[in-house]
Amino acid sequence: MPDFASSLSALTGESTLLYQEIARNVERTKGIKTINFGIGQPDLPTPSRIREGAKSALDQGYTSYTPALGIDELRSKVAEFLSQRYGDRILKEEVAITPGAKTALFLGFLLYINPGDEVILFDPSFYSYAEIVKLLGGKPIYVPLRFDETQGFRFDIEDVSKKITSKTKMIVYNNPHNPTGMNFDRKLTDELYNLSSEKKILLLSDEIYDHFVYDSGFKSVLSESGWRDNVFYVNGFSKTFSMTGWRLGIVVAKKDVINKIGVLASNIYTCPTSFAQRGALHAFETMDEVRSMIETFRRRRDAMYSEVKKIKDIKVYRSSGAFYMFPDFSEILRKSGLDSKSLAIRLIEDGGVVTIPGEVFPQEVGKRFLRLSFALSEEKIKEGVARMKAVLEKLADEKEKR
């Protein structure tokens, strides 16, 4: 067989799925029923109106190719919904439907990144950003987030500005933020948008968790009057409508960018899945169910924060967005002599609790943290944190006996 493409050598291949596989192995070999704080999807079913819409499409034989950019009806629905939410008149021609938000992200990088281009990312950040940039021959440049127990995670716009060079092509902004669970405030969003606009740098804004906001308002970059000049907006149906397996993403950008996406789409995946799009036409009829889900997640957030806060040597911020908590385990790591990956594996093997080590989310900052998802019942949250506490206490006892 010939050698693989040299660009693949830059990829780590590690993701949150690795720890799910370790958990499955523990369940098989030890008979332990794991509690999964690693999961990155809502545990509630897709609303029935969406499911019935897809089933009806299948029954009608709606199984052929669709336009590469998605069916006009769904593009129009998305444009209308976002226009009403953010106060700008977004056109159908400024919307593309993709097979998942990850594909939307990949298309954004593929459209703009040449070998040697620099892309500014926050540290920590969703692991796929850096992987795609490296695959395309670009260079990730990291701006560290600062952590405080009361304020959460923040960045300084001056730190971002200092990272900009003549090679900077793009800034990636994920808000609300994975893995920290931070909903960055309006001031930070404005500052980042203004900086990218002033420097004529593309701002790729990943707003997949935009409805999972708990304590304060959320500002989308689509609220900025000049967004068409330098914004590539990504969202999707997966989180808000509990449709992760349906694989439907959204891009919003100016018309000529969307037309380029159409060219890429027709050459890469042809089109999004036909009957999934027909189901998604009914998604915006389910906002009452979405709001109810968000309230459920708010209670789960509060339950997890309350329980984790009780564990000695952990610093934790009560997440303001998404459905993740990102506690600081640095004192536990120091005392145990473990790194975050080893601790995460120990929690699975000894306690049946799945967490995601922060170093999965590059580059340096996350090494002190573990990501905990609260996309599961309050009962399981309480049991899972109790199990985690027991493993940590056992680690402390082992250390004292050495």
pTM of the model: 0.96
What's the DSSP call for residue 175?
S
**For residue range 151-177, what is the model confidence (pLDDT) as tens digits?**
999 999 999 999 999 999 999 999 999
What pLDDT does residue 400 have? 67
Domain ranges of the chain: 6-45+287-395, 49-285
Q: What CA–CA distance (Å, rounded) separates 347 from 327?
A: 15
Contact 268, 69 (CB under 8 A): no
Query: What residues pair up with 123 in beta bridges, in sequence order?
Result: 144
The dihedral region occupied by 100, where left means phi > 0, alpha psi between -120 and 50, and beta the remainder, is left
Domain 49-285 has CATH 1.10.1530.10: no
Q: How many C-alpha atoms does 189 have within 13 Å on its Cβ side?
A: 23
> Would you state the pLDDT for residue 323?
98
| CATH topology for the 6-45+287-395 domain | Aspartate Aminotransferase, domain 1 (3.90.1150)
Cα–Cα–Cα angle for 114, 120, 124, rounded to 5 degrees: 130
Of 321, 302, 391, nearest to 352 by C-alpha is 391
Place of tokens 């049991």: 383
Strand order in the sheet with 202-206: 95-98, 249-252, 231-236, 202-206, 168-174, 118-123, 139-144
Using CA atoms, how far apart are residues 93 and 98, in angstroms rounded to an integer? 14
Work out whether strand 249-252 and strand 231-236 pair parallel, antiparallel, or are unpaired: antiparallel
User: What are the tens digits of pLDDT across the range 85-99?
Assistant: 998 899 999 999 999
pLDDT of 39 strictly over 90: no
Are 199 and 168 in contact, with CB atoms under 8 Å apart?
yes
Contact 98, 272 (CB under 8 A): yes
319, 360 contact by CB (below 8 A):
no
Between CA 296 and CA 306 the distance in angstroms is 16
In which element (H, E) is residue 142 found?
A: strand 139-144
Q: Over the stretch 49-69, which tens digit does the pLDDT of each residue have?
A: 999 999 999 999 999 999 999
* Residue 46 DSSP one-character state: P
pLDDT value, residue 401: 63
> What is the biggest distance separating any 2 CA atoms in the chain, rounded to whole angstroms?
69
Q: Label residue 17 by pLDDT band (50, 70, 90).
A: confident
Question: Residue 1's pLDDT is what?
Answer: 85
Share of the chain above pLDDT 90, in %: 90
Q: Cα angle at 191 between 328 and 142, to 5 degrees?
A: 45
Q: What local confidence, expressed as pLDDT, does residue 397 receive?
A: 80
Query: Angle 198-200-204 (CA atoms, 0-180°, nearest 5)?
Result: 105
For residue 95, the cross-strand partners are 252
Q: For residue 123, give the nearest of 305, 287, 400, 369 by alpha carbon.
A: 369
pLDDT exceeds cutoff 80 at 15: no
Give strand ranges (E) for 297-375.
Answer: 324-325, 353-354, 356-357, 370-373
Does residue 6 have a pLDDT over 80? yes
Tally Cβ neighbours within 10 Å of residue 113. 22
The rounded distance, in Å, linking the Cα atoms of 145 and 168 is 19
CA nearest neighbour of 79 among 198, 213, 251, 300: 251
